[in-house]
Amino acid sequence: MEHIRNAFNAFADQYDSQRRWVIPEMDTFYSTAVWMADYPGTSPAILDIGAGTGLLSAMLLGRYPDASVTLLDISEQMLAVARKRFEGRKNIRYITGDYSGTDLGGKYDLVCSALSIHHLPDKEKHRLYCRICDVLNPGGIFVNADQASGETPAMDRKFLEYWNEFFSDGPLSPEERAEIMKRRDTLDQNAKLSDQLCWLKDCGFHDVDVVYRNRIFVVLTGRKAP
């Protein structure tokens, strides 16, 4: 994971400004994740895995302003941006570490992640899903807004063509686009959507489903039994 930490440290300051030109339907993608992060009270304990600059955490705090949030990320520089974002705010905790092995703590009412878990090899994704289930309170929910490959090589190529066209139509410079595509080609390890749904069920999640999909970009969810 060291190469991932180095890559994200290097562009932490540009991460947020590029998001809208990297993620098609960005607002819908994130808002669906926040909508699915359902909690009956007003102050859930939230773990944001691969929290980065705190973009998803900020949206969750917009819905649950009294929440306590733990941001876990491997990149010190990404979390430095998050610290600035939440400066002066109470009930925010930061953990710098590789979440494939770092203690997740707990218990939590909500565990969420955005555009991070796809960097893990498939066996590690499966293992992480099981660890997430373990640290959730009964009835707690997991929401993963992430990337998934197509079910066949042909569909995967089709999805990538769509994504490449989206890149080319945006205002990013050729150098920025080249760097993003380089990271995609070297860091991404997308898994099939069908496999990920099976892994969630295998780990003990209930109500497993897909609540959003736009080609590569998906929002998956599962709930721990009450």
Tell me, what CATH number does 7's domain have? 3.40.50.150
Query: Long-range contacts made by residues 80-89, C-beta under 8 angstroms, separation at least 24?
Result: 80/12, 81/12, 81/13, 81/15, 81/16, 81/52, 81/53, 81/54, 82/51, 82/52, 82/53, 82/54, 82/57, 85/53, 85/54, 85/58, 86/54, 86/57, 86/58, 89/61
pLDDT at 12: 55
The whole-angstrom separation of Cα 117 and Cα 29 is 16
**pLDDT under 70 in the chain at which residues?**
1-17
Instruction: Please give the pLDDT value at position 20.
Output: 82
pLDDT in tens, 113-131: 999 999 999 999 999 999 9
Give the structural domain span for 200: 2-223
Question: Structure tokens of 176?
Answer: 């920025």
For the chain, what is the domain count?
1
- How much is the pLDDT for 21? 83
Find tokens 């974002």 and name the residue. 85
Residues 122/58, Cβ–Cβ less than 8 Å = no
- The pLDDT, as a whole number, for residue 13 is 63
pLDDT for res 6: 53
What is residue 112's predicted lDDT score, i.e. its pLDDT? 98
